[in-house]
Chains A and B, each alone.
Chain A
Amino acid sequence: MKHKTSALTIALVAIILAYLIILATQPPPTIYRRHVDPNSETEKLPYQTYLTTSLLFTFDELVKGNFTGTIIKLKELNQTYVPTSLKYIFERFRQLMNELTVKLDDTSSQLDYAELLIYSGREDDARNPLKAAGYNLAESNITYSQLKSSAEELTKSFMLPRAQVFQKIDSIQNLIENMYKRLQALLERIEFQKNLEETYMEIQVYPENVWVGSTITVEGKLYTRTQPLTQKDVTVYFEGQKASEARTSSSGLFNCTIKVPYTYKPKANIIAKYLPAEDDSNKYKPTTSNTVQISLLYITPKVEAKVLGKPLPGKYFTVEGKIYAERRLPYDQIKVSWLTSSTTAEIENGTFKLTLKVPETISDGKYVLKAEAPASEIFAPASTTLYVNVQRIPINLTVEAPPIAISGIESNIVGKIAYEGEEKFNSTIKLVLGQEHVENVGQEFTIKFTPPLTIFSGYQTYRLQVKPQPPWYSSVEAEGRIFIVNPITVAVPVGLVSAIAVKMLREEKKKAKAVEKGIEKVEEAKKVQEREKYYVREGLEWLINVYWQAVVIVSNLTKIEMKPSTTIREYLAQVKEAGKEFYSSFEKISIVAEKALYSPKVTEEELETAKKSIEDLQTIYARTLH
């Protein structure tokens, strides 16, 4: 038990050692792969010079008043790596910068709007945006103070050059101050304008319904409560764009003509503005006229298009359409765009026709086709969009595969392709079954295949791919299973089991034969005994039994054991001194037994002596026991 435990312990240690050796055995690297575990890397601060540069760029954008640019820079700054311990400081700084930028941007927009209103003579309307701007600036000031404290922490934590950073931060203060100044100036302007003389302007436009490209006349009057304003410059705006300028006459009247741009929308607004210049700015308030809306006239052609036939990959298809309008079109071409290219089609009697090719490799699906007529003077642009449905002709594949195939023996897979139409074509048929078979065939095909002898028996999945040569037919695939029987691999286990069985049967037979032989030998020996009156070794097993019984008795009597290496004679010699009483009987038995073992003949008399001697010995032994 102890030995067993030790052996098992050794076995366990051997298992562990063997595995550890395997784990430790690494092949020498053939190349040095360059990668590290991010978690094992020490957190590193961003490079001070670059972080400073990045910050200064951001400040520069803000100082320039480029608020959109500042936001972009802040987003870039957000990509900077910040160690977890400093994240709060950095994030706080970035948030404050962002907040300040947004507030200053809003302030700037409010100031711009207020300025526009003031110089349009709408001082009262300008007060609200100015109020909002003032409020924003007050908040910006607070944010700026917080930003400064945050920048202090930031420069300390990231070991950035304080002087450089604060120089830029101070420039932000200038920006805020400038905005304050601008706010102040606008408020002052409102107050100033209050004391100026109110001006008024009215305009009329005719005609009110006008073709695009033609001219319209704008007439108006500029005046104060008391008098018309003479020799003043008035600007006329068409849809917010400066269209013309005019000078007032001695009666304050002005007129000008505007060429209506080719704008294809139904309505357009026209206004006029008076902005006092030079000395007038200290006398009169700016003013804006009433808004006049005019109706624009233009022709919108109608485009219609349709696809003729079935668009198939590799084939041409026709697009047919018409374009019409109330008047004769000034152009004779129409642009047709499809996929990645565009082309032009001639217009004849208001219709167009175009042939386009479907690429062979295009996937099935719907593709946009656009027919566009250009804008031309009074003709507005027109277009129509339609979908070209590219769909390959489907084919049906029927396959007849054998349920079982034998390795090394050729088998067939028979197939048939069915489809709409009468067209005849070849297809590439690919059979994938352990290896690849490719054939070019027609509508019916037979693929011969030989399962390799290198595979084991069992189900093998096959795939049959049919790719028609004309690109306008769909490819089709079928999958199935064939049971492959490999006679070689099957023969091995069957043979092995058969061999074992045969061997076992043979051994059984051999044993039976040995027994038969033994019986034959005994019978033969009996015959010899009778013939020669002599006993031979065969059939004397009982005598050997007699001897061993005698040995047991003697060894019990003498306490001298007969060792396996001791011969009959040696044992006889060993017990001679120990027991004179039984020695004579034991000697007789020993002599006869030795003779039975080593001599070819033992006489009847000797056997009788042995029988008598064992009886004597047993008697002596029984007596001793009692």
Chain B
Amino acid sequence: MLEPYTKIVAIAVAASIIAVLALSTILPSSDDYMPDNPYWNGQNIFSKTVNATFTDPKTILLEPEKTTIFIISPEKNMTEEYTIMLKNFAESGGTIVLMDETGKINPILEELNVGVEIEPHPIMDPLYYYRSWKLPKITNINPTTPTTKNVTSIATDIPSAIKIEDTRNIKVLAYTSYFSYMDLDGDGQPSKDDPAGPFPIAVEKAYGQGKIIVISDSSLFINSIIELGDNKILLKNIVGEKKAIVDSSLWNPTTQSRIKAFTQQAYNIISAPEIKYTIVACIATITYITVTKEKSEEEKADELQKVLEKHPEWNPQLLKTIKEARENVIQ
């Protein structure tokens, strides 16, 4: 009596695993900055605009002079090896864009000796903004750099200020307005002790043969912000003809994203000829065995059927028992 249940439960478990994997892959992610997240905090517009690849740059071969790496709001600490990789990359002609408002990238800015740091207090603007003071509109933009060409306004989402410690080779790309303030006391209002703007929010530094761009707001290119100002133009200017790579290895993904990544990896592995053909061969073998077994069982069932057709009055259960007993005897 238990056998059919076991079979159904096994099928249900297998189906739920397949369904979860499929759903996780098909349904869009809601993780911050993810390229497959079409919601306000995703970056699928960014991804499409510059055809960006979201990956771990350590795992791919980089051509610095043809690549721009975006490091956006890293959650994980960066290793020394990683910093060296970035340093070599920029010195060989690569462009690195560091975007963060929390100050998490300060150690890397120090390691790379950029001469700037992020001051993690929020900058608000009560006059030039989008909908809320937390979303300052930047109009004080350096018109002379190729990075800010044709950019007249930049939308931001609770940015920070950049503290410039060493002005050598530093070019400020954009400042907040004179009316902006650093909300030190966190009351959201311009208070007496809150430092007043303008504050630099984007700077550029020539670094070896390449350059480093620091932006004190990680949300400049998220779906809900990228189309408010000229952020898209800014993004295109930054990337230019280069290949855009967003380092996704520094974020902590959610379970769904992990499953998605796992499914993707599994798919990639399964796509390999060896695995693909092994699966085909296994399925073919299993099918053959199953069909053969079923045929043999059918033959056995036929024998019983024949007796019952001849003697319909005989008890089928009893005949089955007899048959089994006979088989036992033969063995």
Contact = CB atoms under 8 A, between A and B. Distances in A.
Nearest to A45: B126
A220 to B, nearest CB: 51
Contacts of B15: 11, 15
Contacts of B158: 34-36
B173 to A, nearest CB: 18
A47 B272 contact: no
Contacts of A26: 254-255
B167 interface: no
User: Most B CB atoms within 10 A — which of A11, A19, A35, A561?
Assistant: A35
Interface stretch (B81-89, B107-115, B199-207, B277-285): B277-285
Contacts of A332: none
B247 to A, nearest CB: 15
Interface in B126-148: 126-135, 137, 139
B12 A7 contact: yes
Contact of A493 (B19, B157, B281): B281
Contacts of B225: 35, 38
A573 interface: no
Interface stretch (B48-56, B237-245, B298-306, B319-327): B319-327
Interface in A439-493: 456-458, 486, 489-490, 492-493
Given A19-B19, A47-B126, A27 B272 contact: no
A94 B228 CA distance: 22
Contacts of B312: none
Contacts of B330: 518, 541
A555 B139 CA distance: 101
Given A30-B252, A36-B132, A11 B274 contact: no
Given A14-B12, A19-B19, A432 B224 contact: no
Interface string B91-119: 00000000001101000000000000000
A436 B61 contact: yes
Contact of A36 (B24, B102, B134, B282): B134
A26 B75 CA distance: 14
A4 B278 CA distance: 33
Interface string B252-278: 111110010000000001001111011
Q: What is the size category of the interface that chain B forms with chain A?
A: 35 or more
Contacts of A31: 73, 75, 102, 104
Contacts of A419: none
A467 B24 CA distance: 45
Contact of B32 (A10, A33, A43): A33
Contacts of A44: 129, 131-133
Contacts of A80: 127-128
Interface in A5-30: 7-8, 10-11, 14-15, 18-19, 22-23, 25-27, 29-30
Contact of B314 (A7, A54, A552, A597): A552
B8 A7 contact: yes
Contacts of A54: 127, 179
B287 to A, nearest CB: 12
B234 to A, nearest CB: 17
B285 A500 contact: yes
Nearest to B189: A47
Contact of B127 (A39, A46, A486): A46
B20 A544 contact: no
Contact of A15 (B4, B16, B254, B274): B16
B157 A11 contact: no
A46 B8 contact: no
A22 B260 CA distance: 11
A429 B8 CA distance: 60
B45 interface: no
Contacts of B13: 11, 14
Contacts of A46: 126-127, 129
Contacts of B231: none
B125 to A, nearest CB: 9
A11 B131 contact: no
Contacts of B177: 79
A21 to B, nearest CB: 8
Contact of A79 (B101, B139, B157): B139
Contacts of B249: none
B5 to A, nearest CB: 7
B79 interface: no
A562 interface: yes
A26 B255 CA distance: 7
Contact of A43 (B102, B131, B157, B218): B131
B310 interface: no
A224 B32 CA distance: 88
A493 B278 contact: yes
Nearest to B72: A33
B326 A544 contact: yes
B11 interface: yes
B291 interface: no
B64 interface: no
A284 B303 CA distance: 143
Nearest to A504: B289
Contacts of B23: 19
Contacts of B190: 47, 50
Nearest to B180: A50
Contacts of A50: 126-127, 179, 190
B228 A456 contact: no
Given A19-B19, A436-B61, A541-B329, A27 B254 contact: yes
Which of A33, A51, A545: most chain B CB closer than 10 A? A33
A424 B104 CA distance: 51
A3 B4 contact: yes
A294 to B, nearest CB: 43
A15 B228 CA distance: 40
B180 to A, nearest CB: 10
Given A3-B4, A18-B20, A50-B179, A38 B127 contact: no
A37 interface: yes
Interface string B206-225: 00010000000011001011
B11 A81 contact: no
B130 A458 contact: no
B132 A489 contact: no
Contacts of A497: 278, 281-282, 285
A496 interface: yes
B280 to A, nearest CB: 9
Contact of A489 (B228, B274, B282): B274
Given A42-B132, A81-B129, A548-B325, A457 B12 contact: no
A555 B318 contact: yes
Which residue of A8, A32, A36 has the most chain B CB atoms within 10 A of its CB atom?
A36
A79 B140 CA distance: 11
A548 B311 CA distance: 14
7 contacts: A23-B256, A30-B75, A34-B157, A41-B131, A41-B135, A43-B132, A81-B131
Interface of A: 3-4, 7-8, 10-11, 14-15, 18-19, 22-23, 25-27, 29-44, 46-47, 50-51, 54, 76, 79-81, 361, 432, 436, 456-458, 486, 489-490, 492-493, 496-497, 500-501, 504, 518, 537, 541, 544-545, 548, 551-552, 555-556, 561-562, 564, 597
The 10 closest A-B pairs by CB, nearest first: A11-B12, A47-B126, A493-B278, A456-B272, A7-B8, A41-B132, A548-B322, A35-B219, A37-B40, A15-B16
Interface of B: 4-5, 8-9, 11-13, 15-16, 19-20, 23-24, 32, 40-41, 61, 73, 75-76, 101-102, 104, 122, 126-135, 137, 139, 153, 157-158, 177, 179, 190, 209, 218-219, 222, 224-225, 228, 252-256, 259, 269, 272-275, 277-278, 281-282, 285, 289, 313-315, 318-319, 321-322, 325-326, 329-330
Given A41-B131, A497-B285, 17 more contacts: A11-B8, A18-B19, A18-B20, A26-B254, A27-B252, A31-B102, A34-B157, A38-B131, A38-B132, A38-B228, A47-B127, A54-B179, A456-B272, A500-B281, A518-B330, A544-B329, A552-B319
